[in-house]
Each structure stands twice: as C-alpha cells, then as structure tokens.
Amino acid sequence: MALVPRSRPERYIMFDLESIIGERVSRTNGAKDLISLHISKDVEVSISPTKRGMLMKQVVEEFIGKYLPQSEIFFLREAPHVISFSDEASLVDFRIPVEQSDRFPDIILYERDSIALAHIEVAVAKGPITVERKKELDELLKDVRIPSIFFSIFGTRKELESFSGQLAPDSAVWIADEPDQVYRAVEKGAKEEPLIPIA
C-alpha cells in the first residue's frame, strides 16, 4: 500500500548561506556569483559555485530532470554543514526524523511514478553510498513505509574508480561526464562488471 502525503500547508525552510557560514559572499571585484538552483517551479535556492555546487546543479537539472522527472525534492544539503532547502512538513509526513538531518544524504526526494523515496549522495565531500552508509540510512529510515532507492553521484569515472568495490550492491550510480547512462552497483567480487547499465 502506498503512502500518500496528507494535505498540508506548504511550509518550507529556506536557509541563508551567508548567515550560516558567517561570511559575506562578495559579488564584486571578480568574485563568482552564487548559483541559482530551481528546486521546483516555485522554489529557488542559491548555492556556492564550488566543484560540489556545480555538480549539485547538474544533479538537479540533468540527472533528476531526466531520470526522476516526476519527483519532488524534500531536502538538499549544499555542503556537510550547509542545508540549502528542507521541506520539513513532507519529511515528517513520510516519517523521516527531521531532528537527525545531520545524518541525511545530500538530497532526498519523493518519486511519484515509482512511489519511492530517492536518496542521493554527491560523492565530492562525504563519499558515495557504501555498504556502511546504506546500513546507516536504512536505520535512519526504518519507520518509512515506502521503498527507498539510493544513488551515488560522481563528476567523472576517475572519481568513481577511487571507490571501486565499496559501493552498496543494488545502489545506482550516475557520472556527470557520462550523463546518458545510469549504472547499478553489483556485489564485490562478482564475475560481472562492477557497474551494470540500467538506463
């Protein structure tokens, strides 16, 4: 039985990057502007133009736009201690413990077509969905009543290679430099290739 979020007032928590990191972001003297990121047709956030920020933009605009188009973003973390967007009402509706947001993946979204929650790690800072990380997320999500799917995002195949054999089996992988393909990670030591194309 699918869990359908009950009617609720639209309540989002938006975070001001400058107040969180305690720095003034200069837009003059050649400094780079913040990147605008459209979370939905009604919500836009600004993130830093770092390597991770640029990859995050690709994830939202290319990966989610192409492979999870019928989805709604509930949570987005720009950096390990910088939350850019959180729809706490939706997280609570799906029984995700909002008080433990420090344990969340970088992006959480609800995929309407498959009636599942997608959990995305952008592997620039904390790393991908490993076996241990998936166990941690499974424990965090133990009260959620719909399936979860897990994605690790890499900028290049070379970045992925440094985690060879560590990805959680049956998690999915997307490489920004190869945007037309999604892969499934298989068991370490399997006779198959460690990544199997699935889309």
Q: What pLDDT, on the 0 to 100 scale, is given for residue 179? A: 93
* Per-position pLDDT tens, the chain of length 199: 333 333 333 444 444 434 333 333 333 333 468 888 888 878 889 888 888 889 999 999 999 999 999 899 999 998 877 888 999 999 999 999 999 999 999 999 999 988 999 999 998 867 899 999 999 999 999 999 999 999 999 999 999 888 878 899 989 999 999 999 999 887 764 444 555 566 5
Q: What pLDDT, on the 0 to 100 scale, is given for residue 137? A: 95
Q: What pLDDT, on the 0 to 100 scale, is given for residue 98? A: 93
Please spell the DSSP secondary structure of the chain, one letter per residue.
----PPP-----EE--HHHHHT-----STTPPPPEEEESSSS-EEEE--SHHHHHHHHIIIIIIHHH-TTEEEEEEEEETTEEEEE-HHHHHHTT--GGGGGGS-SEEEEETTTTEEEEEEETTSS---BHHHHHHHHHHTTT--S-EEEEEEESSHHHHHTTTTTBPTT-EEEETTSTT-EEEE--TT-SS-SEEE--
Q: What pLDDT, on the 0 to 100 scale, is given for residue 105? A: 93
Q: What pLDDT, on the 0 to 100 scale, is given for residue 81? A: 78
Domain ranges for the chain:
13-197
Q: What pLDDT, on the 0 to 100 scale, is given for residue 26? A: 35
In terms of CATH architecture, what is 13-197? 3-Layer(aba) Sandwich (3.40)
- Which residue is it, tokens 């502007």? 33
